[in-house]
Amino acid sequence: MRKSIDRIHCIGAVHGLLSRRDLQQVEMKESARRIAKIVSQSVGKSDGVDVAVSGARVMLESQKATSLSLVIHELVDNALRHGIGSRQQGKAQISFTRSGRELMVMISDDGVGLAKDFDLNRHSGMGLKTVVGLVTQDLGGEFRLF
């Protein structure tokens, strides 16, 4: 239930950025900062975890911004819950890189990492399945784990 409420807050943050400025596009670094704050508070790590946002300025129309924001939400949530885990301090990074018309969004953390035998097709829960669907279907992109 908590994750569903957080997803609604995430969508609300994107729409808040749109309505606040009467814009048709969302600046994704600002959206990512808001999402990081929402997730940090939700998982009880707002004091000891630093989530940095860096990279290129990216403007997306509202539908794509909402989809990408949900992707960012799920991956930051995973980074804080599973990567950083029970530690009270840690770092996560959301970075945006543009190359022509392509955009790469990378989310990383200083946590334990994935198990060597991790297989996205066998081990992923609903969150990662949602991410893959949003990236491939809504955004027309490719999802990779490093």
Q: What is the pLDDT of residues 99-124, one digit of tens each?
A: 998 999 999 999 888 888 888 877 66
Q: What is the pLDDT of residues 66-75, one digit of tens each?
A: 899 999 999 9
User: Which positions ≥6 away from 132 have C-beta within 8 Å?
Assistant: 120, 124, 143
Cα separation of 51 and 39, whole Å? 10
**Fold assignment, 2-138:** Heat Shock Protein 90 (3.30.565)
pTM score of the predicted model:
0.84
- The closest alpha carbon to 109, from 92, 124, 122, 125, belongs to 92
pLDDT band (50, 70, 90) for residue 10:
low
Domain residue extents for the chain:
2-138
